[in-house]
Amino acid sequence: MSYTALARRYRPRHFGEVVGQPHVTQALANGLRQSRLHHAYLFSGTRGVGKTTLGRILAKCLNCEQGVTDQPCGECDACRQIEQGRFVDLLEVDAASRTRVDDTRALLDNVQYAPTAGRYKVYLIDEVHMLSTHSFNALLKTLEEPPPHVKFVLATTEPQKLPATVLSRCLQFHLRRLPEAQIQAQLGEILAAESRTGEPEALRLLAQAADGSMRDALSLLDQALSWDDQPLAAEPVRQMLGVADAAQIDALLQAIVAGDGAALGEQLRQLHAAAPDYEGALDALLEALQQIALAQLLEADPDRPLTPMRAELAAQIAPPEVQVLYQIGLLGKRDLPLAPAPAGGFEMTVLRMFALRPDAPGVPATATGARPPGGAPADPATPAASGPPRGNGEAAAPAPVAAPVAARRPAASAADPATDEAWEQLVQRLPLKGMAAQLVRNAVPVARARDAVTLALPRAHQAVDTPRARERVEAALRTAWEAPTLKLSVELVEAVDGQTPAARAAEQTAARAQAAAAAVAADPTVRALQQRLQARVDDIRIDDDEGGQ
């Protein structure tokens, strides 16, 4: 006796057996019970979610010998013939292979004739978006006003490609992708019906690989069961799918976060030895980062608990770093088809995560002040010592080092902004933007009581003293000084006593520009260009607050 594939053997025979589409089955069943029968139905959705299956069930409901019903008997000749695909009044058409207008006209020539064996003649057109424009035009008139004994059922994976004139004539139902947990539960039931057993992890891997398609899941289950007669195990399924082991992915991610190049290289070698599907391995890495981000910011998915390693990583990695790693992985997945080899593309993505993580050597400090381990950061005001290569073989003279800007002083007490330096450091910590930021940058405190502070603001900058700016500054100072009842007042003056943070920043920028100009003027290459080509230094620009030149 010939073997029947699981996807065919367990195809739903009535609405109650359809998995994951209650919004569609309930609407169709109610319409059948109330005799509200539309002349054209459109089922859309990804492959393997039940579009043509629903079309056949609908044909059985319309032609069952017991009468139009939402629960066909499955025993009469009409029901059995529809299940076997030989019912004369169910015309199934694959639009992908019959796109010409002549094919459509030949199909519609018989619309006017009454059904031969059933109550309704049902036209089931699969992949209807493949029809040509002329074919759609030939179909329109019949689709709008078909004979009372004709029903159209259209199925497509790309409804956006259908003309609006066709969409407006159909009752539209979009079939959803099935959740992974629902597919896994259905696979478990089918496995039990087949008198076989399997590990939950093996079923989860199959459900994940199905990507929302029940038909794909059943095909994969068929393939997995053909390995041997033993219980379905996770490791053979993982090898069949080319999926990287979760422990390998966790170890890879741990090496990235720890900055351990040796461990990362060893994990990559082990991964290459298993010859996985590298796109799937990258997906697994992104999934691990997604689980960690959910556990950090919201709650872990109860259906997918964190592994011990991922729980540990969630406590170690800062949430912004998780987002950076995830974005790098997404860009790597986009570029993977462009790589000379999938293994190399995956490896470069992982190395990019390793090299560009926020605490990697050579990466600027993060907003939290984190610095690369093993040394102090370079002074941003110091010009690079290396210059362009000399063509005459002479050793390059080191460029003069600009005078360093005043070093950052220790953080001032939040309760005592008495000095210009303390006020400047406090202003840098306040989370202010726009007018509010300009207000505190161009003012200095002149009086501070327990619950009040007065800022002196030069009249030249009085435009930044708006009510909204005062409110934001007052709220920020209340938080910084832990004074919930603090009141802010601003006094306009001709000139302030001391330096405002803005004036100090301008003075430091000017000093950096002067030092940079001196360094450029003393550079041997610049001097040679000036002498040989009559070149001149046009401008020296310092990027604001960065110390670059």
Q: What is the pLDDT of residues 154-163, one digit of tens each?
A: 999 999 999 9
Residue 46: CA atoms inside 13 Å, Cβ hemisphere, count?
Answer: 11
Whether the predicted pLDDT of 58 surpasses 90: yes
The whole-number pLDDT of residue 358 equals: 66
CA 93 to chain centroid: 37
Whether the predicted pLDDT of 132 surpasses 80: yes
Whether the predicted pLDDT of 505 surpasses 80: yes
Whether the predicted pLDDT of 21 surpasses 60: yes
481-489 average pLDDT score: 87
More confident residue, 509 or 116: 116
Give CA–CA dist 465/52, Å, rounded.
68
CA distances from 267 to 155, 272, 322, 333 (A): 46, 9, 20, 19
Domain residue limits, the chain: 6-174, 180-241, 246-356, 420-499, 502-549
Whether the predicted pLDDT of 109 surpasses 80: yes
pLDDT digits (tens, 9 = 90+) for 60-75: 999 999 889 999 998 9
513-534 average pLDDT score: 78
Lowest mean pLDDT among 18-27, 153-162, 314-323: 314-323
| Average pLDDT, rounded, for the chain | 82
pTM of the model: 0.59
Q: Which CATH number fits domain 180-241: 1.10.8.60, 3.40.50.1980, 1.10.10.10, 1.10.1370.40?
A: 1.10.8.60
pLDDT digits (tens, 9 = 90+) for 163-185: 999 999 999 999 999 999 999 99
Instruction: Give the CA dihedral 283, 289, 295, 296, nearest 10 degrees.
Output: -160
The whole-number pLDDT of residue 384 equals: 39
**In the chain, what percentage of residues exceed pLDDT 70?**
84
Tokens of 55: 């079309």
Asked if 180-241 and 420-499 have one fold, the answer is no
297-303 average pLDDT score: 69
Lowest mean pLDDT among 152-161, 232-241, 381-390, 434-443: 381-390
266-286 average pLDDT score: 87
CATH number of 420-499: 3.30.300.150
246-356: which CATH topology? Zinc Finger, Delta Prime; domain 3 (1.20.272)
The whole-number pLDDT of residue 239 equals: 82
405-421 average pLDDT score: 44
Q: Which ranges constitute the DSSP H helices of 275-356?
A: 278-297, 308-316, 319-335, 342-356
Does the domain at residues 6-174 carry the CATH identifier 3.40.50.300? yes
Give CA–CA dist 420/182, Å, rounded.
64
